[in-house]
Structures are given as C-alpha cells and as structure tokens.
Amino acid sequence: MTWHAVASSDDVSTGKAHVVVVDDIQILLCRTENAVYAVEDVCSHDGGALDQGELLGERIECPRHGAQFDVTTGKNLTLPAVRPIRSFPAREQGGQIEVEV
C-alpha cells in the first residue's frame, strides 16, 4: 500500500465530503470535528455514489435510500445497507490530505 497526496487540507471543510480518485478508486474524504477519513464513494446497497449524501457527524447518508455508514470504519449502520464499505487510512501532513491505497 502506498500513501497518495490527494487534496489540499483547505479543500475539505468540517462537515463536508470531497471526492478524489486514486488508482481508479473513487474515494470520499470526510472531515469531521476530529479528523479526515476516507471511504470508498459507493453505497453497498445499490452501488450508487455517496458524495451527494449528507455527512452527519461521523456518518454519511446515502442520498437515494438513506442507508448510513460510519466514515471512521466503513461499517454499515442502517438498512437498507447490510454490508460495510471500504475504508482507507487517511492523514494530513504539510497542508495536504494523504490516503493509503
């Protein structure tokens, strides 16, 4: 696995999500009050993107059917999703957000 600089720290505001692509994987960066997290930008229920969903603390809500996922782990939290989504290590260094893929 390799660390990739994917965005400026200023690109992702608290309570917002930002989409980046690394190695053909669409990744959703989510900034909470505590840190920046990275999860795959795909709902495990229907395969649609999560990037238009609402970030509620440490949960991202699917804009189509309301499934929620924990952005710190990728764990599915509500139906209709019954499987987690992929999560990736993320960190901030020197004003950049990096993701390990």
Segments making up each domain of the chain, as ranges: 3-100
Distance CA(32)–CA(13), nearest Å, equals 9
CB-CB neighbours of 46 under 10 Å = 12
Q: What is residue 93's predicted lDDT score, i.e. its pLDDT?
A: 96
Check pLDDT > 90 for residue 1. no
Q: What is residue 43's predicted lDDT score, i.e. its pLDDT?
A: 97
Q: What is the mean pLDDT of the chain?
A: 97
Q: What is residue 57's predicted lDDT score, i.e. its pLDDT?
A: 96
Q: Give me the architecture of the 3-100 domain, per CATH.
A: 3-layer Sandwich (2.102)
Q: What is residue 54's predicted lDDT score, i.e. its pLDDT?
A: 96
Convert the pLDDT of each residue in 14-53 to its tens digit: 999 999 999 999 999 999 999 999 999 999 999 999 999 9
